[in-house]
Amino acid sequence: MIDTKARHLVQPVINKSADTALKLGLHANHVTVAGFAVGIGAAGAVYAGWYMAGLALLWLSGFLDVVDGTMARKTAPSKFGTVLDISFDRLVEFGIIFALAMRFPDVMWLLLLLTGSILYTFAVFLSVGAVADEESEKSFYYQPALAERTEGFILLSLMIIFVDYLFYMALLFLTVQIITVLQRLYLARKILS
């Protein structure tokens, strides 16, 4: 929701960063890989118990994730770049959840349910994107919903910051995912009928 409604507020900074990276001779896929590496570093930091470092690295990874997409749209977006971008995003999210599960095995079952809900929500998202005849500036139809990338980062952040309340933060994230998938299924029915 934030991505859809408020992206225009931060887009000038993203554009400037993308232009700078392009002037340095970088390609979108370079930034995608860098963002992935930073995101995996975030998971490693969380696993080590360096929560604030993990949080900072997570958000840097997210920033690089939006810069790479802008770079791709300013040049020649590639389908392989889209695959890298989308799949690396999920691996970073999983890395954070996995790191938390390893540190806090008492909530591992809930984090497993959360991971399953993210997988299902994303499967619906990709399925609708693949079959919808809707237009989008991205390389596939982007179905807006309650939880988009930024909301996911906020919820991951809450889980990192409030590890003493990890059960409740993960439950909140799971609830948001369930609402999101129901919303996406409802909108998919309207779009595809």
- pLDDT on residue 187: 86
First to last CA, the chain: 23
- Which one from 3, 65, 89, 133 is the annotated catalytic residue? 89
Closest CA to 41 of 21, 62, 61: 61
31 vs 22: CA distance, rounded Å: 10
* Nearest by Cα to 64 from 44, 92, 83, 43: 92
Active site residue 19: no
Single pTM value for the model:
0.88
| Nearest C-alpha neighbor of 174 from the set 125, 104, 115 | 115
According to the model, what pLDDT value does residue 131 have?
80
Cβ(32)–Cβ(85) below 8 Å: yes
Closest CA to 32 of 63, 9, 11, 1: 63
Distance (Å, whole) CA 23 – CA 7: 23
Tell me, what's the pLDDT at 136? 55
Q: Tokens in use for 104?
A: 């806090």
Tens of pLDDT, residues 23-80: 999 999 999 999 999 999 999 999 999 999 999 999 999 999 999 989 999 998 788 9
191 vs 193: CA distance, rounded Å: 6
pLDDT score of 143 more than 60: yes
Does the pLDDT at position 139 exceed 60?
no
Taken in order of first residue, the domains within the chain and their CATH numbers are: 2-192 (1.20.120.1760)
Instruction: Say if residue 142 is exposed, middle or buried (CB neighbours under 10 Å; 0-12, 13-18, 19+).
Output: middle
